[in-house]
Amino acid sequence: MTFGEFRELVKMIQGAFPHRQLTQDTAAIWFQHLQNCDYHGVKRRIEAHIKVSHYMPTIAELYEQPVEETKILQTIQEWEKEGAERIEDERRIQRKRPAPPWAR
């Protein structure tokens, strides 16, 4: 999340909870802990919190664990390719072998 995106989130929080203002020191701590989070994920959490709570959210309520990229789709595609190659290799080998006596 960029600092500009963080400022938008702070404005949203301060607009929803006008009775409690964030100091610069508090905002710096929040940004330090939330900067690695996905902006859209934190924004969704703020919106959900605003709907159910009368109190300002904490960092723990807004923090969203960074999602690691998985390579499962790439792995599945590689397996499918390997499987297709094995099937084709097996078909080529079977064409070269003579048929067993019971299959003639």
Tell whether 30 and 57 lie within a shared domain.
Answer: yes
Element spanning 1, H or E? none
Beta carbons within 10 angstroms of residue 22's beta carbon? 15
**pLDDT tier for residue 90 given thresholds of 50, 70 and 90:** confident
CA angle 89, 98, 83 (to 5 degrees): 15
> What mean pLDDT comes out for the span 73-84?
92
pLDDT higher than threshold 80 for residue 85: yes
CA distance 90 to 104: 20
- Please state whether the predicted TM-score (pTM) of the whole model is above 0.85: no
Tell whether 58 and 80 lie within a shared domain.
Answer: no
CA distances to 36, 37, 70, 74, 99 from 67, rounded to whole Å, are 10, 9, 9, 17, 54
Domain with 7 in it: 3-62
Tell whether 89 and 38 lie within a shared domain.
Answer: no
